[in-house]
Amino acid sequence: MKTTLILGATTNPDRYAYLAAERLTRHGHEIIPVGIKQGSVQGRPILNGKPDVPEVDTVTLYVGPRHQPEYYDWLLRVAPRRIIFNPGTENVELMRLAREHDIEVVAGCTLVMLAAGSY
């Protein structure tokens, strides 16, 4: 399975980012949790800031549009194959930048995609 970076990772089990980490792991996907929280999720430490990461296939966003601009340059350097804009994270500017860098843009829900087998 390919690696998924979860931007907006959290230790809070009531948050969708936590559920995504849980379900991605359950489906056999390697995860890299990145967020502002300290701690771990699914046995993986939550990385803070804009860390150097190994090759990433997918970034799944759980950070709202207002807080995304600080991550633009870093996300483009990470150069994933695709970025999933989960509900509430849609951002026309970042979508445009991603497309300009040949990154597939998906407006969808990671949890639904996993449940439907379309991840």
Q: Going residue by residue through the chain (119 aa), what tens digit of pLDDT does each one get?
A: 699 999 999 999 999 999 999 999 999 999 999 999 899 999 999 999 999 999 999 999 999 999 999 999 999 999 999 999 999 999 999 999 999 999 999 999 999 999 999 99
Q: What is the per-residue pLDDT for 32? A: 98
Separation CA 92–CA 17 (nearest Å): 21
Q: What is the per-residue pLDDT for 115? A: 96
Separation CA 49–CA 87 (nearest Å): 23
Residue found under tokens 């996993």 = 114
The CATH number of the domain covering residues in 3-113? 3.40.50.720
Q: What is the per-residue pLDDT for 44? A: 97
Q: What is the per-residue pLDDT for 7? A: 98
CB 16 within 8 A of CB 47: no
CB 27 within 8 A of CB 115: no
CB 29 within 8 A of CB 83: no
Alpha helix (H) residue ranges in the chain? 16-26, 72-78, 92-100, 110-116
Q: What is the per-residue pLDDT for 20? A: 98
Q: What is the per-residue pLDDT for 1? A: 67
Residue found under tokens 């799944």 = 60
User: Domain ranges in the chain?
Assistant: 3-113
